[in-house]
């Protein structure tokens, strides 16, 4: 209770400081909707990258902090210049997002979609409690001034809703792409990412998928590969440790890098020490792309496929309910043998989207006279 009170007071004091600075510097003030404050590396990275793209002319206020401000009702009615649906897969994901946006639309006249993904009913229709809210989203998106989405599947969904002013700009985290390719040292080092999704993945079992991944690790270890793990969320770290204990019982020691404990630049340095990466969580794969580390994407939800299509690597996208151990081992070795070509390919695609993201940010600044 005391900790919660202190946190709320801190948020309110921060807001006072920011608001004074915003007035002095004539910044636009934006209410940002995203999954923040949960120590999730990907969602925090999205906020950081969008804020960086909009330079010093815009202040993003995370919805998680605004909800704790003592004068939040007044602020939501009078303070913000526009609403932003941030990176993440929010379009058509649940009723709560629709209700939140519709409530804010009563007072905030403009809205922007920045690198967001759309839910694919192909997967979500099997998830208990989910229902298609395309009609509501068609209304919301028609109200948006600017719409940039993560990938081609998201764009196709919006086209079906009759939204014709959207475009693919890539995932905002791609702005972190290195300016130059750092060549891999080729020391047979593979990074591995998997985690906990509450069994909301293709195959409906986190544990079953984890066992497949660790079977791949056993084969790679036998063939001389050095293996480490990359976690993007505290809950994922606990799950990885439990799975390692169950499968290896301490017979082999593995390092786990907790990206959520570090700033983004430090987390990206992890990839300097590996040659190939295999990822389940979306932004683990996206950060690998930013560092031009060849990777395999395990599509636990369709958002992963959407991203892999955007970077023209759909052949390296494997659904979590269709994992063949021999195929994964083969793909890891193939990426390793042809690492230079894959690094060049990633460089070209990431640089393309870096420019798209900069252009879209520029559109926002111009449209809202920032």
The domain that holds 213 is classified in CATH as 3.40.50.2000
Query: Per residue in 98-135, pLDDT tens?
Result: 999 999 999 998 999 999 999 988 899 989 899 999 99
CA distance to 50, 53, 101, 112, 370, per residue, from 363 (Å): 13, 11, 22, 11, 10
Query: Per residue in 140-192, pLDDT tens?
Result: 999 999 999 999 999 999 999 999 999 999 999 999 999 999 999 999 999 99
* Cβ neighbours around 38 below 10 Å, total: 12
Query: Per residue in 16-38, pLDDT tens?
Result: 667 667 665 678 999 999 999 89
- Whether residues 168 and 193 share a domain: the answer is no
Query: Per residue in 217-275, pLDDT tens?
Result: 999 999 999 999 999 999 999 999 999 999 997 788 899 999 999 999 999 999 999 99
Across 205-210, average pLDDT: 98
In the prediction, which pLDDT does 77 show?
74
* Calpha distance 192→228 (Å, rounded): 6
- Whether residues 125 and 60 share a domain: the answer is yes
CA distance to 294, 296, 331, per residue, from 334 (Å): 10, 11, 5
Cα–chain center distance at 317: 16
Query: Per residue in 307-319, pLDDT tens?
Result: 999 999 999 999 9
**Is residue 50 pLDDT above 90, yes or no?**
yes
In the chain, the number of structural domains is 2
Ramachandran sector of residue 24 (left: φ over 0; alpha: ψ -120 to 50; beta: rest):
alpha
pTM of the predicted model, to two decimals?
0.95
Cα–chain center distance at 43: 6
Note whether residue 85 is domain-resident. Answer: yes
In the numeric block, the tokens 């403009």 are attached to: 110
56 pLDDT tier (thresholds 50, 70, 90) = confident
In the prediction, which pLDDT does 207 show?
98
- Whether residues 246 and 162 share a domain: the answer is no
* Residue 351 burial (10 A CB sphere; 0-12, 13-18, 19+): middle
- Whether residues 66 and 111 share a domain: the answer is yes
Note whether residue 160 is domain-resident. Answer: yes
- Whether residues 83 and 196 share a domain: the answer is no
The domain that holds 155 is classified in CATH as 3.40.50
70 pLDDT tier (thresholds 50, 70, 90) = low
Note whether residue 20 is domain-resident. Answer: no
12 pLDDT tier (thresholds 50, 70, 90) = confident
- Whether residues 211 and 335 share a domain: the answer is yes
- Whether residues 199 and 263 share a domain: the answer is yes
CA distance to 45, 127, 142, 187, 321, per residue, from 199 (Å): 24, 10, 34, 35, 12
- Whether residues 11 and 157 share a domain: the answer is yes
Length of the chain, please? 370
Ramachandran sector of residue 129 (left: φ over 0; alpha: ψ -120 to 50; beta: rest):
left
- Whether residues 159 and 198 share a domain: the answer is no
Ramachandran sector of residue 40 (left: φ over 0; alpha: ψ -120 to 50; beta: rest):
beta
- Whether residues 331 and 360 share a domain: the answer is no
Q: Is residue 26 a contact partner of residue 77, using CB atoms and an 8 Å limit?
A: no
Q: Which domain holds residue 56?
A: 2-15+26-175+353-367
End-to-end CA distance of the chain: 40
Across 79-87, average pLDDT: 93
Note whether residue 21 is domain-resident. Answer: no
* Calpha distance 354→208 (Å, rounded): 36
Least Cα distance to 52 among 174, 166, 167, 169 occurs for 174
- Number of C-alpha atoms within 13 angstroms, CB side, residue 103? 11
Note whether residue 180 is domain-resident. Answer: no
Note whether residue 181 is domain-resident. Answer: no
Structure token digits, residue 57: 């002319």
- Whether residues 244 and 346 share a domain: the answer is yes
Please provide the average confidence, as pLDDT, over all residues in the chain. 93
Structure token digits, residue 216: 């791949």
Q: Tell me the DSSP string of 3-65.
A: HHHHHHHHHHHHHHHHHHHHHHHT-EEEEEES--SS--HHHHHHHHHHHHHTGGGEEEEEHHH
* Calpha distance 17→59 (Å, rounded): 12
Note whether residue 341 is domain-resident. Answer: yes
111-118 vs 189-192, strand pairing mode: unpaired
Note whether residue 182 is domain-resident. Answer: no
Q: Is the dihedral of CA 143, 148, 150, 153 positive or negative?
A: positive
- Whether residues 100 and 197 share a domain: the answer is no
* Calpha distance 269→14 (Å, rounded): 30
CA distance to 95, 237, 317, 340, 341, per residue, from 39 (Å): 23, 12, 26, 34, 35
Q: Is residue 210 a contact partner of residue 310, using CB atoms and an 8 Å limit?
A: no
């Amino acid at each position: 209770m005391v900790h919660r009170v202190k946190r709320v007071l801190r948020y309110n004091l921060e807001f006072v400081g920011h608001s004074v600075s915003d007035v002095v510097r004539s910044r636009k003030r934006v209410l940002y909707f995203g999954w923040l404050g949960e120590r999730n590396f990907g969602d925090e990275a999205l906020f950081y990258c969008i804020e960086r793209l909009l330079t010093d002319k815009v202040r993003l206020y995370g919805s998680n902090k605004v909800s704790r401000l003592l004068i939040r009702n007044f602020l939501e009615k009078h303070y913000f210049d526009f609403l932003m649906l941030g990176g993440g897969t929010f379009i058509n994901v649940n009723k709560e997002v629709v209700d939140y946006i519709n409530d804010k639309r009563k007072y905030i006249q403009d809205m922007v979609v920045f690198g967001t993904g759309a839910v694919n009913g192909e997967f979500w229709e099997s998830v208990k409690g989910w229902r298609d809210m395309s009609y509501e989203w068609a209304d919301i998106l028609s109200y948006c001034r600017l719409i940039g989405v993560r990938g081609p599947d998201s764009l196709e969904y919006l086209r079906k809703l009759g939204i014709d002013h959207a475009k693919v700009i890539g995932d905002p985290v791609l702005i972190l792409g290195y300016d130059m390719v750092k060549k891999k040292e080729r020391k047979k080092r593979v990074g591995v990412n998997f985690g906990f999704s509450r069994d909301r993945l293709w195959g409906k079992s986190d544990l079953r998928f984890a066992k497949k991944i660790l079977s791949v690790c056993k084969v790679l270890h036998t063939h001389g590969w050095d293996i480490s793990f990359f976690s993007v969320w505290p809950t994922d770290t606990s799950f990885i440790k439990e799975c390692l204990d169950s499968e290896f019982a301490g017979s082999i020691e593995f390092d786990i890098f907790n990206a959520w404990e570090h700033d983004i630049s430090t987390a990206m340095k992890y990839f300097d020490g590996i040659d190939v990466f295999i990822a389940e969580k979306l932004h683990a794969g996206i950060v690998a792309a930013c560092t031009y580390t060849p990777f395999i994407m395990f599509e636990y939800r369709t958002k992963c496929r959407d991203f892999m299509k955007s970077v023209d690597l759909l052949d390296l996208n494997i659904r979590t309910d269709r994992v063949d151990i021999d195929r994964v081992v083969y793909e890891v070795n193939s990426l390793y043998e042809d690492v230079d070509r894959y690094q060049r390919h990633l460089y070209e695609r990431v640089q393309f989207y870096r420019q798209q993201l900069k252009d879209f940010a520029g559109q926002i600044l111009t449209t809202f006279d920032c």
